[in-house]
Structure 1
Amino acid sequence: MKFLDYYSKFDLIEQYRSANRRLILLDYDGTLISFFSNPSDAIPGDNLMEILCKLNTTKNDLCIISGRNRDWFDKWFVHLNINIIAEHGGCVKLKGQPWLKKETGPNRWKDAVKEVMNKYVRECRPTFIEEKEYAIVWHYRNAHVSQGNLLAAELYNELKEELNNENVDVFTGKKIVEVKVKGINKGAAIKQFLIANKYDFILAVGDDYTDEAMFEVLAPVNDSFTIKVGDDASFAQFNLYTPQMVVSLLEMFTHIAER
């Protein structure tokens, strides 16, 4: 782990200042905003929206890349007219264009997953299930720590066994257990930007296991900076401890005059 200290931050800002074509990839929950007990409460505030608006310049390809679904983005971000990658790459909305959905096979696996997850919800009432188009997530952030961790391990093992022959992957993240269609990840999703454009500055920031595929893809790319929020081991080059530090860094970019 290498914290983004004063000298590293100065270099990052200078690289941003001198660049002519930039790509900025930002996770949402845990990166731009702190986690909430109820995910629907994690709405972007005026300050964050103002910063993102200022970063949406002709030199910048700004992209929010998140596990949230497209309906949520249509509610809160549609007026910004930026690039959005929802559900970790399942749905993509490029600037000024309509949503494009990744075609996958039938979702018969969802019924089996919900049946298993509902057993754990009944056993631990503060937990809940979130169903998306390409994934189903069991959230246990509101459970007692020891009980939540124990049940998460049990659920993960049960789902791995149950879904062994399905076209899905099972993951554990920050207070979640997630089942997601294979091949949908942030690393695959950002490749469209790298193929279509030549950038002399790339910044990617995220906080969870879902962002590691993005960091790994960018590791060999010149002029790229990757930041993990938190102190976990990561493919990212640097760490920042909190979303507030991320927003503060982005705000510094907004004070740089475009040539």
Structure 2
Amino acid sequence: MNKKYILDVNNLDLLKRKISKAERTLLFLDYDGTLAPFKADPLSAFALPETEKILKKLEKSTNYYISLVSGRKLKELKKMINLSHSNYAGSHGLEIDMFFTKEVIYPHQNQKIDVLSKKKYQTIKERFLKSESVELEDKGFGLALHFNSEEKQSEEEKKFKALFENTAYQVLSGRKILEIRPAGWDKGKAINYISDQIKAHFNLDNVLRIYIGDDRTDEDAFKALEDGVTVYVQNEDDLNTEAEFYLEDPADTAKLLKKLAGES
């Protein structure tokens, strides 16, 4: 991979210099494959113990505002990792819970879904509702289909994209997962929204944004951070990523977070 390893001394020093020049650092983190090792069963994919411990330390710092950005439903994400002074963005940012607001925010809730799009969506839902080989997760405004085979996922992905072309829904592909969700919103738009909310609430101007993620859905966030620091966590897919830097695995993510917290 033609990317820079962010834990190399020179790259780490560069990152620390950037952090020192900003009023605050907005740290955006994907969950699965980034903070937690990837698991076939999503409910067993817990963050590494040292990762949760260091995040609790970082969120108390005056230097950082932490936001978790995941494809998981908001309610499920909050059960997987418990932080009290951080922001949560579930369902790729379609539902956002910020620690300084009273209610969950649905920034894309006003999009109207036409009848034909709804019909196609319902067709897929009914088709996989009782499937034994594919686990269907109903998120309310979207569906996630978990596959036990990448070959099967790839086969269905082509059909899904053809079916939902020019509709109000988009098809997102992840690690053994396909998601059908309202078009026009992604992790990139979500982190821009969260950034604007933080800057306005705390009257900030000069912020550094860091995004760490491992999945295809994180590429939208990498593209949105042209002025920030983007870090790809490697997995078996080994993406041709837009990120500038890389880490090798979630254990590396924990190492980086420790460095940011001032631990050796």
Same fold? TM cut 0.5? yes
TM-score bracket for the superposition, by shorter chain length? 0.7 to 0.9
Question: Match of 1:255?
Answer: 262
Question: Match of 1:51?
Answer: 54
Q: 1:79 to 1:238 in 2, by over 3 A?
A: closer
Stretch of structure 1 that moved more, 185-194 or 210-219: 185-194
**Distance in 1 of aligned mates of 2:62 and 2:86:** 11
Question: Match of 2:104?
Answer: 99
Instruction: Provide the identity percentage.
Output: 26
Give the ranges of 4+ consecutive aligned residues of structure 1 lying more than 6 Å apart after TM superposition.
Answer: none
5+ residue gaps, structure 1, are none
**Distance in 2 of aligned mates of 1:171 and 1:76:** 22
Question: Match of 2:23?
Answer: 20
**Distance in 1 of aligned mates of 2:79 and 2:168:** 31
Q: 1:248 to 1:78 in 2, by over 3 A?
A: closer
Corresponding residue SS for 1:139 = strand
Question: Match of 2:206?
Answer: 199
**Distance in 1 of aligned mates of 2:120 and 2:86:** 33
5+ residue gaps, structure 2, are 200-204
1:217-256 paired onto structure 2 within 5 Å: 217-219=224-226, 221=227, 224-230=228-234, 231-255=238-262
Equivalent pair of 1:229/1:243 in contact (CA under 8 Å): yes
Question: Match of 2:89?
Answer: 85
**Distance in 2 of aligned mates of 1:81 and 1:128:** 33
Equivalent pair of 2:216/2:239 in contact (CA under 8 Å): no
Question: Match of 2:70?
Answer: 66
Question: Match of 2:173?
Answer: 172
**Distance in 1 of aligned mates of 2:24 and 2:50:** 25
Question: Match of 1:212?
Answer: 219
Give the total of aligned pairs: 243
**Distance in 1 of aligned mates of 2:195 and 2:40:** 35
**Distance in 1 of aligned mates of 2:39 and 2:120:** 29
Give the TM-score taking structure 2 as reference length.
0.83
Once the two structures are TM-superposed, the CA of residue 131 in structure 1 deviates from its matched residue by 1.8
1:83-162 paired onto structure 2 within 5 Å: 83-97=87-101, 98-101=103-106, 102-103=108-109, 104-106=111-113, 109-118=120-129, 121-122=131-132, 125=133, 127-140=134-147, 143=148, 148-162=149-163
Q: 1:12 to 1:41 in 2, by over 3 A?
A: same
Q: 1:118 to 1:78 in 2, by over 3 A?
A: same
Give the TM-score taking structure 1 as reference length.
0.84
Equivalent pair of 1:228/1:238 in contact (CA under 8 Å): yes
**Distance in 1 of aligned mates of 2:34 and 2:222:** 14
